[in-house]
Chain A
Amino acid sequence: MGDGVERRTFLKTGLAVAAGTAAAELATRAEAALPRTAPAARVASIAPRPLSPATTPDPGHQQPLPAGGRTVERPMHGLPEVVEPTGAPADDEVAYLTYDIDLQIARHTPVTGVEAHMLAFNGAVPGPTIRVMENDWVKVRFKNRTELMHTIHWHGLDVPYTMDGVPWVTQDPVRPGQTFVYRFQARPAGTRFYHCHFGTLLHMQSGMHGAFIVEKPDDPIRRRFPYTRDYTLILESWDLNFMRSELNAMLRRMKERMLLMKIGKLDAETQGVFKTHEQFERALESGYIPPYTTQRVAGEGRAGLDFNFFGINGKCYPDTEPLLIRRDEWIRIRLINAGQLEHYMHLHGHQFYIVAEDGNDLPEPVWQNTVRVSPGKTADIVVYGDNPGYWTFHDHDTRRVTNNGIYPGGMLTVLAYEDLDGPYVPRVALDE
């Protein structure tokens, strides 16, 4: 019996090893067949609005960014203006790179002709890209200028738990007008991102997300694939109708809550936040009605989400930015799924290597032409420019290559060769 089990195990293991080896050899052969170029001295990072470190102390954002609508510049009712939790080294202990991020409600145009109110870090969607080296010390001064409550969660980064940005679990939410100072060391390296973790379903899709890229000094991926351009693409899915109705509903409730706080009547039940489960149970016994029962439905009565626009870096096709490449050039594309749907990004006319997932380098690159990016996941791919032309790069769940149901649109962009003088150039197609 023992022999039988061992033999079956051997067969299974042997087959698995053989299959793995074959795939690796295939990848290696394919990689070897591609021309190699010397690593360029410099990599051009192409990402949503890179954010430069601040040079002046401005923890309360005394000089706020311009806003198009109503903002809250100071916290009300005696709340501290700046919250600086413990759990990270003090300013005089390490050299922090300081970044200022504020939040306001802005009008955003996901695609020409369609406008929506969104929650905009530094006034735009998605938020600015923060790019640091591994083990840099980072300080982010986040000012909430909306009437809603928020946090920032550093997705995929190993930060002290007091900096993890989960409301009521690691911190109180950042109240209207407050500044919260996050401090942490940027590690591990890789493609990371940040997003609001308060009312995550609404806030994250409403624009509160941005890329956080942690680079290694001598990146093995770049040594192996000497890319000269480094693209960051944030994948988004929006139900603009849910966002509109629920943002309005949350603003109305928050206005009332701020009044209740002012007159000392904001209690645990009204906030829906209890110190302990026992306190929650006691509230139920005394008549408290949880919001997830029949008293309220999100989206002012709408039963569920119905995503109708899909974006890359805040834009839907045909407003998406093309990915530029030259013949014999390697490019890196960092995909970040900041939405609630799974996407299957397919590149026409090329194979590519998946070199990292969740920001972490894969032991061995995987040679494919479609990469699955689940909600919350990141995937890094490298592409070699060996087939000049214009090539679409899109979610192959083509329901997401639509704008309000009309194809083409949504999560689609074009890999365009800069040095191409081809017989056909892309048009702007809106309706097929």
Chain B
Amino acid sequence: MNDATGRALPGLVLLGALFASAAAWAADVGADVAPRITVGGRLISTLDLGRAYGQGRDDEDTADVDVADSSLLVRFDKRLFDQSVGGAVLGLEFPDPDADFADTVYYHHVFAFLWDRNYRIELGRTKLRNYLVEFPTLRDDDLLWFTETTNGLSNSNTEEYQQFGNHLAVDLFAPRQYLAGTFYLAQRTETEDDGSVKDGFDVNGGGVQFQRTVPAALKFSGRVRQAGVGWDVQRVDVDGGAWKNAFVAGGVVNLTLDPADHWEAMAQAIYDLGAGDEGLGTVRTRALARSVSVVGAVNFRKSTFQLLRWKAGLTGAYKRYTQEGDGEWSVVPTFQYRLGDGVAAVAQYRYTGRSADLVRAVGFDREHRVQVGLTFDFEAGFNDYIGERQSILNLEHGFVR
């Protein structure tokens, strides 16, 4: 069994178990209430051209067609007997080319949830709460090592192990104030030194977040759209077991309150106290190193007739490994021109620079990457009899179940 098959197997087993169990559960499921079904997805396909310069080694040029991070999601919701909502999400994603299972898909969302006006509970595999702010790069993981608290339990190149994991997350809301408090227990993917997933591992982390987040429908209601802080802790395999603590703070502001020519800015800082001092030689030791990362971006959105037509963002990121005194930085201008609703032509350039030990570990001190391509995003809803917790009506005119 190769690595790719091995990584895909847990997802397949889980899905298989779901379908197998469906027959056993059928007797309890009536056909009287069809769920709300929401299907969403994104196909992002880019031609990537890269050049990397190394200290004392040949330059390396790369060219490939990249469909990584393309995904398909299906969400099911139903009203419960007490009028709250329960449901499930199934999602699959195409991983990066350097993932351990690059030729197959990764089930990045397999979770059940409950929500009502003041809470949401998620249980299963999904996006970990190891960040606060989303930045305007083409792909979520373009600046992964700057934007997320990294996984001190994985030594794999597979970025999905940094982003996704099993968790139990409880969000408590004060809806009218747009306040949310999050408490989570996480089971991040643990790997052996060779990057293969361990046969078994337990809940190995947790954390809390507090933030004020203005819903998208009300994004122009004030300058500050998002502000929050968080603490993430991981139980890592250092010196027989140690705690790796990280603190995150960040937010988003409207620079202009202009829906036609909209400027926004966002920033986030992660202070990772790390665990142990094992240098920067591997993926895991870099994740375990004490570090400070700061990311900032400005984004411009041009709309005509209340339709977004194009947007351009500039993201800058810096990370310093404080014990080693090394650092890396990146600058990413991004451009998207919408050809239609959900269809865009995209272009992005990314420059990454590194210093000293980090160069020795990664192999290059400067990397240039140009990406041009197309994206297709969609969301379609069926049998929508539920509505959304954060709709304008529910927030400003009283909550209606």
Contacts and interface: CB of A to CB of B under 8 A. Distances in A.
23 contacts: A68-B397, A68-B398, A69-B396, A105-B393, A115-B400, A117-B398, A248-B217, A248-B393, A251-B217, A251-B392, A251-B393, A252-B392, A255-B220, A255-B392, A260-B258, A260-B259, A260-B260, A269-B304, A270-B305, A270-B306, A288-B305, A302-B381, A302-B384
A70 B398 CA distance: 9
Contacts of B398: 68-69, 107, 117
B340 interface: yes
Contact of A301 (B380, B396, B401): B380
B19 interface: no
Contact of A289 (B217, B221, B307, B397): B307
Contacts of A255: 218, 220-221, 392
B80 to A, nearest CB: 14
A247 B387 CA distance: 11
B241 to A, nearest CB: 50
Contacts of A252: 217, 392
Top 10 A-B residue pairs of the complex, sorted by shortest distance between their CB atoms: A69-B397, A70-B396, A256-B259, A117-B393, A251-B392, A105-B397, A248-B391, A252-B217, A115-B400, A269-B305
B400 A107 contact: yes
B385 interface: yes
Contacts of A116: 400
B43 interface: no
A294 interface: yes
B142 interface: no
Interface string A238-252: 001100110110011
Contacts of A259: 220, 257-259
Given A269-B304, A294-B341, A241 B385 contact: yes
Q: For the side of the interface on B, what is the size category?
A: 20 to 34
Interface in A293-323: 294-295, 300-302
B132 to A, nearest CB: 24
B397 A253 contact: no
A251 B218 CA distance: 10
Contacts of A115: 400-401
Contacts of B393: 105, 117, 244, 247-248, 251
Interface residues of A, number: 36
B306 A253 contact: yes
Contacts of A260: 258-260
Given A256-B220, A256-B259, A295-B341, A245 B305 contact: no
Contacts of B307: 289, 295
A68 B305 CA distance: 32
Interface string B175-215: 00000000000000000000000000000000000000000
A269 B303 CA distance: 12
Interface in A73-108: 105-107
Contact of A300 (B257, B259, B341, B381): B381
Contacts of B385: 240-241
Contact of B306 (A68, A106, A256, A300): A256
Contacts of A12: none
Interface string B365-392: 0000000000000011100110110011
Contacts of A269: 304-305
A263 interface: yes
A117 B400 contact: yes
Given A117-B400, A252-B217, A263-B258, 14 more contacts: A105-B397, A107-B397, A115-B400, A240-B385, A244-B391, A248-B391, A248-B393, A251-B392, A255-B218, A256-B220, A269-B305, A270-B304, A294-B340, A300-B384
Interface of B: 217-218, 220-221, 257-260, 304-307, 340-341, 379-381, 384-385, 387-388, 391-393, 396-398, 400-401
Contacts of B258: 259-260, 263, 265
A348 B167 CA distance: 60
A302 B387 CA distance: 13
A257 B392 CA distance: 15
B56 to A, nearest CB: 54
A244 B393 CA distance: 8
Contacts of A288: 305
A289 B396 CA distance: 31
Nearest to B384: A241
B362 to A, nearest CB: 45
A30 to B, nearest CB: 46
A115 B388 CA distance: 15
Contacts of B257: 259, 263
Contacts of A244: 387, 391, 393, 400
Contacts of A289: 305, 307
B226 to A, nearest CB: 18
A269 B259 CA distance: 14
B361 to A, nearest CB: 48
A248 B259 contact: no
A117 B397 contact: yes
B32 to A, nearest CB: 10
A265 B260 contact: yes
A251 B57 CA distance: 59
Contacts of A265: 258, 260
Contacts of B380: 301
A255 B306 CA distance: 11
Nearest to A256: B259
A175 to B, nearest CB: 18
Contacts of A300: 381, 384
Nearest to A269: B305
Nearest to A302: B384
Contacts of A301: 379-381
A270 B309 CA distance: 14
A188 to B, nearest CB: 38
Nearest to B216: A252
A300 B386 CA distance: 13
B351 to A, nearest CB: 35
A252 B392 CA distance: 7
A240 B257 CA distance: 32
Interface in A348-388: none
A301 B39 CA distance: 12
Nearest to B83: A113
A397 to B, nearest CB: 22
Contacts of A70: 396-397
A256 B340 CA distance: 20
Nearest to A104: B397
Nearest to A251: B392
A263 B254 CA distance: 15
A116 B387 CA distance: 11
A132 B340 CA distance: 53
Contacts of B304: 269-270, 287
Contacts of A68: 397-398
A241 B391 CA distance: 13
A251 B381 CA distance: 20
Contacts of A294: 340-341
Among B220, B257, B380, max chain A CB count under 10 A is at B220
Interface in A102-124: 105-107, 115-117
A294 B218 CA distance: 25
A401 B298 CA distance: 56
A97 to B, nearest CB: 32
Contacts of A107: 397-398, 400
Interface in A186-207: none
B304 to A, nearest CB: 7
Nearest to B392: A251
